[in-house]
Chains A and B, each alone.
Chain A
Amino acid sequence: MTDILSVQELSVDLGEFSLKDVSFGVPEGSYCCLLGASGAGKSVLLETIMGGFYPEKGKVFLRGKDVTSWPPEKRKLGIIFQDYMLFPHLNVFENIAFGLKGKGITRVEYEEKVRQISTQLHIQDLLHRDISTLSGGEQQRTALARALITKPEILLMDEAFSALDLLSREKMRKLVRSTIKELGITVLHVTHDSEDVWALADQVAVIHEGKLLQHGTPEEVFCCPRPGYVAGLVGARNVLRGRVEECDDMGNSVIETQGECIYSAGNWLLKGSEVISSVRPEDIMVAREEMAISSRNQIRVTITDTERRGPLVWLTGTHGKLHLHAVVTVSSYESLELDPGSEAVFIFKARAVQILEGSSGRSVDLPSSIPDCVSVEDI
């Protein structure tokens, strides 16, 4: 797929916020999320792509054309902000029809277009309402209708669901997903919420302090995040630094970390190399005793901390210098009596160990025989 949008070494300095040498591309027809915490520079990047800010360095390309110096109205991009920016002096109909006026189409034609898009977004009964009387979800749908009615080549969304409550957010995600798919529009969506990424994106770029740290599919970024900021942002809680003690040509290995041996599978590592690995808390099963199952990693720990978050309980288990986080349901927590100070066993599969950094590569990339590798059985 070719990139409909690409930015190359983009640098913007607004004093409070800045971007530094950001480069990435958005394939045509894809839904790309820019993930980052508040103040990361996501909105600045979006507004620079839109044409609101002129970059000090770098270029913005749309369909291969350099549009860096183009005014926003020539770029054919739609934009939705977190607070929607609906024009308060116009009603819902006038807001949606705003982009059609002066385009040489008759009133009957644009009324038909407004009717179509408003029906698609379930706001056909709100057309004569004042903006101030709309709920957050209704405002969101009006903003979406206003942006989509002009058929932009790319829709830019800036924290578009952040102001909505949980229920409205889920509804909007479904509505956006279906509408975007139907219209075949490319989307670049700035968010700090990883749920948006999982629910909507097929591409994700992580941005921090104005720098692009990682770019890939959600699976790539969430399952193999770069150590440090990206790993923390996407919830890689059990980040372990260690050394490969043993490995074989099947991709199995033993990693020594904090005095414990962790079994890993599907990661072709080199013996003796330093690696940073991670196990997602939700991949760890918690039991009171070791279990006779295929999972090789069974670590006896002492529960040192518990934290209830809604229907789940986050546990911190300690074994010597090794600290691991796991998550269980409240009922499991109560039935297993996992109070602080109690003993438990954290169980996880060798395949649950993700290598964030280290000498690794797929088997096809490796030579047929790897020196210094020994077979690790039954991992």
Chain B
Amino acid sequence: MEKMGIPLGKTSLEMGNRIFRAALGGITVLFSGLLIWSVLSLLLMPEGEEIIESALSSEMIYSVQLSLMTSLLSVIIVMFLAVCIGYVLARFHFPGHHLLRTIVDLPMAFPELVLGLCLLLLFGHGPLGDWLKGMGIHVVFSKWAIVIAQVFTAAPYAIRVVYGTFRGISPRYELVARSLGCSQMKAFLRVSVPMARGGIFAAAVIAFARCMGCFGTVLILAGGTRMYTETLPITLYLNISYGNLAMAMTSGIILISISLAAIIVFEMLNNEVVL
């Protein structure tokens, strides 16, 4: 600065720091404000009576019930997979470890529609789909397809959280447990899993929110059939298409409420999770 003929005094330093802080603060406030505005606009737009009427309609009740049931089943499957795969990734070192991590993370980077298309090909006309059909199991455009779509969409998120949690737990705890007579499986069940319970629960919350909000994958694999494979996001999509704004907004409000609750629970547990 001195070469440029401007002495770098205390005042100019303070001024520079203030501008930097103000710029960062401004960006944060602007974006947060827009986000809150968009959510509030959804909550404030419809009339109260319309919302209640829509919420009590048979279509909405069916949609909420189906979403809850499929999401709960999916979360159970997702968490089983996440605990197993997260533990394998965190504890075992083997050739292709990084590749497996990348593969597991892939669906996170995929657009949901593309993931849905991949699953449609796998369960529709591929060898697996044909084999399932031979067994009398028709996955595509059924309620099972909703569960499969939700599992594949939510699993990478849950695996990531569980993997981070297990990585944060020293393997020496398990070595101590094994020195006390536990087999590897007992050490896992009696020590690692209880110690990771915060992260596992947080992963389940995230997975549940992802399952409830899963749209593109469900639409492609299960089809958006009214009152059959109609989950909450499908209700929103179908009713927007019909021009029924109140129903669409009601399903939006229910989805946002579930997401908010999930985020709050996740944040409460976040201290125990090492991502």
A-to-B contact residues, CB < 8 Å: 47, 50-52, 71-73, 75, 77-79, 81, 85, 87-89, 98-99, 102-103, 146-147, 150, 152
Interface-located stretch among B60-68, B146-154, B175-183: B175-183
A-B CB contact pairs (8 Å), 22 listed: A47-B172, A52-B172, A71-B183, A71-B184, A72-B175, A72-B178, A75-B179, A78-B180, A79-B175, A79-B179, A81-B172, A85-B170, A85-B172, A85-B173, A87-B195, A89-B194, A89-B195, A98-B180, A98-B190, A99-B181, A147-B180, A150-B181
Of all chain B residues, the one with the shortest Cβ separation from A73 is: B178
A71-B184, A73-B183, A89-B195 given as contacts; is B173 within 8 A of A51 (CB)?
no
Number of B interface residues in the complex (CB < 8 A): 20
Q: Is B255 an interface residue (CB 8 A)?
A: no
CB distance from B41 to the nearest CB of A (A): 45
- CB–CB B175/A78 < 8 A: no
Looking at chain A's contact residues, the main secondary structure is loop
Are B183 and A81 touching (Cβ within 8 A)? no
CA distance A47 to B178 in the complex (A): 12
- Complex alpha-carbon distance, A107 and B203, angstroms: 36
Given contacts A73-B181, A79-B175, A87-B195, 5 further A-B contacts (CB under 8 A): A47-B172, A71-B183, A73-B183, A99-B180, A102-B181
B190 / chain A contacts, CB cutoff of 8 Å: 98
CB distance from A199 to the nearest CB of B (A): 25
B181 and A103 within 8 A (CB): yes
Chain B residues, CB < 8 A from A51: 175, 178
Tell me, yes or no, whether B191 is within 8 Å of chain A by CB: yes
Contact B179 A47 (CB under 8 A): no
Q: How far does the Cβ of A61 sit from chain B's closest Cβ, in whole Å?
A: 18
Q: Given A87-B195, A88-B195, A152–B184 Cβ distance below 8 Å?
A: no
List B contacts of A73 (CB < 8 A): 178-179, 181-183
Docked complex Cα distance between A75 and B170 (Å): 21
Q: A150 CA to B177 CA in the complex, in Å?
A: 12
- B135-177 residues with Cβ-Cβ distance < 8 A to A are 170-173, 175-177
Q: How far is the CA of A81 from the CA of B170 in the complex (A)?
A: 11
Q: Which residues of the other chain, A, contact B175 by a CB distance below 8 angstroms?
A: 47, 50-52, 72, 79
Q: How far is the CB of A21 from chain B (nearest CB, A)?
A: 24
**A87: B residues at CB distance < 8 A:** 173, 177, 191, 194-195
Minimum CB–CB distance for B90 against chain A, Å: 15
- B197 contacts across to A, CB distance below 8 A: 89
Cβ of B171: which chain A residues have Cβ within 8 Å of it?
52
**What residue of chain A has the Cβ atom nearest to residue B173's Cβ?**
A85
Determine the residue in chain A with the shortest Cβ distance to B169.
Answer: A88
Once the chains are docked, how many angstroms separate the CA of A136 from the CA of B180? 22
A89 CB contacts on chain B under 8 angstroms: 194-195, 197
Q: Are A147 and B195 in contact (CB under 8 A)?
A: no
Q: Is the CB of B181 within 8 A of A77?
A: no
A81 touching B181 in the complex, CB below 8 Å, given contacts A87-B191, A87-B195, A88-B195:
no
A79 and B183 CA atoms in complex are apart in Å by: 16
Q: How far is the CB of B107 from chain A (nearest CB, A)?
A: 32
Contact B176 A77 (CB under 8 A): no
CA–CA, A73 to B175, complex, Å? 9
- Residue from the set A73, A87, A89 with the largest chain B CB neighbour count within 10 Å: A73
Q: Which of B172, B179, B184, B186 contacts A77 (CB 8 A)?
A: B179
Find out whether the CB atom of B180 lies under 8 angstroms from the CB atom of A85.
no
Task: Return chain A residues, CB-CB under 8 Å to B195.
Answer: 87-89
B191 to chain A minimum Cβ distance, whole angstroms, is: 6
Of chain A, the residue at the smallest CB distance from B175 is A52
In Å, the complex CA distance between A73 and B179 comes to: 5
In the complex, the answer to whether A81 meets B178 with C-beta atoms within 8 Å is: no
Given contacts A87-B195, A88-B195, contact A146 B173 (CB under 8 A): no
- Taking CB atoms, residues of chain A closer than 8 Å to B180 are 78, 98-99, 146-147, 150
CB pair A50 B194 closer than 8 Å: no
**Chain A nearest CB, measured from B246 CB (Å):** 48
Nearest to B183 among chain A residues (CB) is A73
